[in-house]
Chain A
Amino acid sequence: MNVLSTRNLHKNYGRITAVNQLKLEVPEGTVFGLLGPNGSGKTTTLGMILGVTTPTSGDFLWFGEAASHKQRKQVGSILEKPNFYPHFSAYKNLTLACKIKEVSTDRIDEVLEQVGLAERKDDSFQTFSLGMKQRLAIGSALLAHPKVLILDEPTNGLDPEGIAEIRELIIDIAATGKTIILASHLLDEVQKVCTDFAVLRKGNLLHTGKVDTEFSDEAIIEVKAEDSAKLLELVTKFPAYLSHENIKDGYALRCEPDTDAASLNRFLAESELYANHIMPVKKTLEQQFLDILNQNHA
């Protein structure tokens, strides 16, 4: 079942098209990455499906039903930045969220524990660091046992430690079976956290796919040896060889799918060349992303 389907969702700001006839399906149980540079329409799309931005045309279904505010109670969301009453304590902010979502306040302590803010629950929101604010927002989103979590650039502006914390939290939450929609301009983040992804550019949907299959399609193997001229000569004769790129002291080989590093190692050894570095690398999302952009640009 699809948690979310958008049907030709469209938004104009004056003459600018922010989101263009978007058709998106988010299957249940996925961690769905919405990927695109700043200004590609990610936040506008999320704003529309969350009822804060009015679509110019088109509509969307939550859980297969026409959208209403009641469904939003089953969706935990952060849009752009954590929005809370600055003078209220963490606990009071979550109490208010419970009143709006019509759920009991029993879970507040549990949720604060989960996001690591139990000790700061009586401190006012304005005293929190950005990372803590972001965690409180995720905590608030979890209050009502939502089926779906929507996170818009959840690691934006955080320090490396904060980024790691938030990503761990997201992965933990995903492990509980919740569907997560994550908007990000960080390719790396989507690759690390998501199972599925969609690429947006200038409001257009360029591509959707699965992170696992799309990025392990072709094997990339890094190889280095003392005699790099001979190495190059040999690797081009490697049966699974497709192409190569120069890297420091060696080459990154693009090989046929499912080529393992051991077969390359054996091949080189048979020709009496001993590599001092052989490492399989997943094709990065960055490359995939650029490929997609290039394909659609041409």
Chain B
Amino acid sequence: MLRLLSIEFYKLRNTRYFWILAGLFLVFLLAVPIASKALLDYLESIGETIFNGINPGDLPIFDFVDLWQNLTWIYSAFSIFLGFIIVISIGNEYSYGTIKQNVIDGLSREEFLMSKLVFIAVLSLIVSLLAMIIGLVMGFLWSPVKELPFILEHIEFIPAYFLHLFSFQAFCLVIGLLVKRSGITIALLTFYVYVIEPILSAIIEFEYEQLWLANLLPLNAIGNIIPLPFTKYAMMETQTSVGMDDLGILLAYTALFLFIAFRIITKRDLR
């Protein structure tokens, strides 16, 4: 495992796109809390009631208990940065012919895939740990409650965020393996994530009123592990914990992505 990880990291650490995308993502991880705190402080300073009588500055958005879900939900909207890394990496392996050469040099096809998967898992782990550290720092700086039970309540959103990241990148891996060309995959992925599935989801949910079916769309399944939290501040019914049904759907999808990836890698000629 360690050998496969070191092979994949050696490939990536010598490329520019990896550091640019990883750097952008890191900047974003740090900028989100700082920028939104500044915005909330500004709104609070205005002091007037806006948004139907609620001033967002008064809400406990970055206070413990609420913090974990709010933070990971915002972060989860930007997972596509990490998706691009995997998609470019797969596309390059095909266009350079290096996937073929790796196998010729003595990597089994399964090992090739595992090297990508182990890397995805480690990257997801690092990012979710980073999110936890950022969350703790924010909480200690800004939260009025700092007692341990409150800190730990709903910290389950951190492992949920890990699963979300891993699953999303596994999804990107499959798309990358299917399309093979990084440029086309990036365009396709972006279009699917921001246009096709949202529209499809909205049609199924609002036109046909089949919410359960909309929840089975792959990106909804990957995203629902961290439900949208902010509706609760508008007194709407909101899920504030990780749902077991959502977890099940996500795990099933992840298993499906891995199965498809293994099928493609082991059955298809590498040309």
- The secondary-structure label for the interface of chain B is helix
With A52-B271, A92-B14: A97-B105 Cβ-Cβ less than 8 Å: yes
One digit per residue, 1 when the CB lies within 8 angstroms of any chain B CB and 0 when it does not, for chain A 75-104 equals 001011101111110001001110111100
How far is A96 from B7 in the complex, measured between Cα atoms in Å?
7
* 8 A Cβ contacts from B240-271 to A: 267-271
Determine if A101 and B103 form an interchain contact, defined as CB atoms under 8 angstroms apart. Answer: no
Which single residue of chain A is at the shortest CB-CB distance from B107? A100
Determine if A51 and B109 form an interchain contact, defined as CB atoms under 8 angstroms apart. Answer: yes
Residues of B within 8 A of A72 (CB): 103-106
Q: How far does the Cβ of B207 sit from chain A's closest Cβ, in whole Å?
A: 42
- The one of B6, B10, B104, B268 in contact with A50, judged by C-beta atoms closer than 8 angstroms, is B104
One digit per residue, 1 when the CB lies within 8 angstroms of any chain B CB and 0 when it does not, for chain A 90-120 equals 0010011101111000000000000000000
How far is A102 from B6 in the complex, measured between Cα atoms in Å?
12
One digit per residue, 1 when the CB lies within 8 angstroms of any chain A CB and 0 when it does not, for chain B 55-86 equals 00000000000000000000000000000000
- The one of A52, A88, A97 in contact with B14, judged by C-beta atoms closer than 8 angstroms, is A88
Determine if A85 and B270 form an interchain contact, defined as CB atoms under 8 angstroms apart. Answer: no
A73 interface hit (Cβ, 8 Å)? yes
Residues of B within 8 A of A52 (CB): 100, 103-104, 269-271
- Chain A, interface size category, equals 20 to 34
- The one of A47, A51, A54, A85 in contact with B96, judged by C-beta atoms closer than 8 angstroms, is A85
A70 interface hit (Cβ, 8 Å)? yes
Determine if B105 and A85 form an interchain contact, defined as CB atoms under 8 angstroms apart. Answer: no
With A51-B109, A53-B269, A102-B3: A79-B11 Cβ-Cβ less than 8 Å: no
Which single residue of chain B is at the shortest CB-CB distance from A89? B14
Residues of B within 8 A of A92 (CB): 14
B183 interface hit (Cβ, 8 Å)? no
Determine if B96 and A95 form an interchain contact, defined as CB atoms under 8 angstroms apart. Answer: no
Q: How far does the Cβ of A140 sit from chain B's closest Cβ, in whole Å?
A: 8
User: What would be 6 A-B contacts, judged by CB atoms less than 8 Å apart?
Assistant: A52-B104, A53-B270, A69-B106, A83-B100, A85-B11, A87-B14
